[in-house]
Amino acid sequence: MDAFPDSPSARDAWIVAGRGPRNRLDPSSAYAAFIETEPDEFGLAAEVTTVFLTNRECPWRCLMCDLWQNTLEVSVPPGAIPAQISKALTALHPSGIRHPAPGPRPFLKLYNAGSFFDTAAIPHSDYEAIARLCSPFDRVIVESHPALINRRFDEFHSLLQKHREGASTAAVLEVALGLETIHPVARDRLNKRVSLDQFRTAACRVVESSALLRCFVLIAPPFLGGDDPVASAVETARFAFDCGASVVALIPTRGGHGAMEQLLASGDWRPPGLIQLEQAFDLALAERPSKRSGVRVFADTWDLERFSACPACFSARKARLERMNHHQKAEAPLPCVPCRR
Ligand code: SF4
Ligand SMILES: [Zn+2]
């Protein structure tokens, strides 16, 4: 394959040309759903129901993104998304959504491998039905490209508030935006096509409307040159805090799909190691703004084995990250003789 091109349209074509087949999905079902816990802004464990919606592929072609593998080439018909949510919630909560008091607050993540406010993915006519299905939850977390924080975001936010009337005064919508990196070269070459100013404008709109902001930050994206991936991730987390993020999620950049393998072969990408994720997590926790309480940093621990080069300490490192995700306090780094060597 040729070197990574300069023009946006040639980049799209280069990225798509390196892809393999997508997974076969059923538009009548979410492609995954499960319950996990994460700490809320008060340090209490929230019960997070996560539903991965089956819908049309995102129109962007970000270099590091493998989410297209679990998408469709066509839009789903109106009604399909509420049906997917309803089916997943019934399977996970056969007795309904509990509000134990005291007990974990129920949160709902509706992740759609793209942007919730992309109306080719989530039909606008479904917003009302989706908002109604969300009403038993204390918080609804969706993801979006920053360019789609527009009137559709305002409409969905208003609908959620309408269905929560009288129940709570808490902010109910949290929007996850992919900040990825503020490294100037890597950022341009990721093909995300959003400037830092545009990102900040979108983030302000979320925060000023009393929704909450979650930011995704990559550890070791491609095209960092010789720059330190840990320092770059921490600088990016600092930018996210400055934009008003309540949550920063640190995501190790994953390969395994065409474009990233080409960049690995050409030397333009060095995959992150588990220790870099740990270091970035330790430092980002310490960088949280002191004037705002409840700001959290999470390390993404999905599929973590692939980043470990040392079987001797992997389980202990994973357990340390999981405890830190839960308690939001850095623990002493783990010693490991093979790792030091
Ligand atoms: S905007 Fe998000 S979902 Fe779309 S290609 Fe980029 S990273 Fe993937
Ligand atoms: Zn080790």
DSSP string, 180-194: E---HHHHHHTT---
Average pLDDT over residues 270-281: 96
The answer to whether residue 7 is domain-embedded is no
- Label the pairing between strands 32-39 and 212-219: unpaired
Among the bound ligands, the one closest to the CA of 333: 2
Cα(52)–Cα(113) distance, rounded to whole angstroms?
A: 7
The answer to whether residue 48 is domain-embedded is yes
Please indicate whether residue 114, judged by its CB atom, sits closer than 6 Å to ligand 1: yes
pTM listed for this prediction: 0.96
Please report which confidence band the pLDDT of residue 1 belongs to, taking 50, 70 and 90 as the band edges.
Answer: low
Average pLDDT over residues 322-331: 97
Helix axes 274-286, 229-242, angle to 10 degrees: 40
Q: Are residues 209 and 313 in the same domain?
A: yes
The answer to whether residue 8 is domain-embedded is no
Among the bound ligands, the one closest to the CA of 113: 1
What pLDDT shows up at residue 169? Answer: 53
What pLDDT shows up at residue 101? Answer: 67
Average pLDDT over residues 237-264: 95
> How many A from CA of 7 to the centre of ligand 2?
42
The answer to whether residue 334 is domain-embedded is no
Which of 11, 66, 145 should be mutated for ligand 1, with most atoms under 8 A from CB?
A: 145
Whether the CB-CB separation of 288 and 272 falls below 8 Å is answered with no
The answer to whether residue 256 is domain-embedded is yes
Q: Are residues 150 and 261 in the same domain?
A: no
Reduced to 3 states (helix: H, G, I; strand: E, B; else coil), residue 32 is strand
Which of 16, 56, 67 should be mutated for ligand 1, with most atoms under 8 A from CB?
A: 67
CA-nearest residue for atom 2, ligand 1, is 114
Strand extents, DSSP E, the chain: 32-39, 45-52, 106-111, 139-144, 173-180, 212-219, 247-252, 296-299
Q: Residue 337: pLDDT above 90?
A: no
Which pLDDT tens digit goes with each residue over 81-97?
Answer: 999 999 999 999 999 88
Structural domain count, the chain: 2
What pLDDT shows up at residue 104? Answer: 85
Which pLDDT tens digit goes with each residue over 165-201?
Answer: 556 555 589 999 999 999 999 999 999 999 999 999 9
> How many A from CA of 305 to the centre of ligand 2?
12
Q: Residue 164: pLDDT above 90?
A: no
Burial class of residue 280, CB neighbours in 10 A (0-12, 13-18, 19+):
buried
